[in-house]
Amino acid sequence: MPLYSVPLTLKPMSPASDVQVPLCRTKWTIAIPAGAIATADNAGTRILAPRSIVTSAARPLIGLPESATAILVRLAYDDGVTMDVDPVIQVFGFDGINDAAKFAMLFNSAGTPADELTLTAAETTDATDGTDLFTAIAAANRFALLGHPYILIAIKTAATAFDGSLATARVEIKAI
């Protein structure tokens, strides 16, 4: 299911041009549903063949708007949770053909392979809406799509809570 319904466009600043500049800015969307971050896809080992390793229905292929060039990733969790182990994710781009060889590991804006991204919870400083906390967005949380219209997010290392429950903890993305 795509993250969008109708692509938005903006007119360029030059009135002499009739070219439309696509605008891509989706709302925060759940990529890995509540509670599913407590289960690793490959027991802490780097995932190299995502479609043969990642079989959980909680890790769907996510369609993105055509004009999207990157995604932002964050962890949302209950404000009563204290993490013992923060989840580590891998982000893969997919070209839409049902062939495992068509997946590509995406790199974040810090130039690190996606399997290096730990969604670090900072319970005392993460933003809150009064119910949930949201991890900070840094260069490590922004992934270039490199032309891939779909992504798959896998959990390399499962999260565990020292205090509280992970029942509502989830991974969210925003296409930009």
Tokens standing for residue 43: 């027991």
Q: Mean per-residue pLDDT for 54-70? A: 89
Is the four-CA dihedral 158, 163, 165, 169 of positive or negative sign? negative
Per-residue pLDDT at 51: 79
Per-residue pLDDT at 1: 44
Q: What letters, b where the CB count within 10 A reaches 16 and e where it falls short, cover 36-53?
A: bbbebbbeeeebeebbeb
Residue 116 zone, left/alpha/beta (φ > 0; ψ -120 to 50; rest) = alpha
Spell out the domain ranges in the chain.
25-175
Q: Residue 20 pLDDT > 60, yes or no?
A: no
Question: Going by C-beta distance under 8 Å and a sequence separation of 6 or more, which residues neighbour residue 39?
Answer: 56, 58, 155, 158
From residue 53, how far is each of 56, 73, 77, 100, 161 by CA, in Å? 9, 21, 26, 10, 25
Round the average pLDDT of the chain to a whole number and report it: 83
DSSP H or E segment with residue 128: strand 127-128
Per-residue pLDDT at 5: 39
The top-scoring range by mean pLDDT among 43-47, 54-58, 78-82, 100-104 is 78-82
- C-alpha closest to that of 102 among 65, 68, 146, 58: 146
Per-residue pLDDT at 14: 41
Q: Mean per-residue pLDDT for 70-93? A: 94
Q: Do residues 57 and 41 make contact, with C-beta atoms less than 8 angstroms apart? A: no
Single pTM value for the model: 0.83
pLDDT > 90 in the chain, percent:
53
Instruction: Name the 3-class secondary structure at 172.
Output: strand
> What span, in angstroms and rounded, lies between the C-alpha atoms of 155 and 110?
20
Per-residue pLDDT at 113: 67
